[in-house]
Amino acid sequence: MRVLGIDPGSETTGWGVIDGDRRRYTLVEYGSIKTNANEKFATRLLKICDAIEELIVRFKPDSCALEDGFLKTNVRVTLKLGQVRGVAMLAAARAALEIHEYAPRLIKQTVVGYGNAEKHQVQEMVRILLSLKAAPQPYDAADALAVAICHFHHAGLNERILATEARLKLSSSIATHRRTSR
């Protein structure tokens, strides 16, 4: 499975692509999409959308994992982040990718083991988990890789839960069938 992780930001949107099988994963590539704060916001959104679409064509991911929005004290910043997330989701949906969203605290808890981890801690754990020589730069790219890693852990868990539920449902229907056929 190949996952495109995205850390949305109006000035810098981090991205990272990871291949894996839910137990092991390896880095494909990472980077960031930078926009000019002096440009109109709609122009910046278009640049982010175009860049994500190019990443999808280039890397052909199976799914897209995004950091979920969180409420900042500045409402305008929160709204802008929501618009960037929307653009990223639109690009992924156009490519018919599965889209998964993860809360920042869950990502940090999954990757670092602590939901209030600092940026540098996330960066260092991403370096260790992906066996990199240096921590990914900028932080936005490290955060995007952390989102992708989080997806590998939780996608596997969700599949196991669904498989268990299916087995329980099957056993229940077999038991019901035996009772009614007697």
Catalytic residues: 7, 67, 140
Q: CB–CB of 30/16 below 8 Å?
A: yes
Q: Are 68 and 101 in contact (CB under 8 A)?
A: yes
Q: Is there a cis peptide before residue 104, judged by omega within 30 degrees of 0? A: no
Give exposure, 122-150, as e/b (b: 16+ Cβ within 10 Å): bbbbbbebbeeeebbebbbbbbbbbbbbb
Which residues on adjacent β-strands are paired with residue 99? 64
CA distance 36 to 49: 15
State the residue for tokens 């064509």: 57
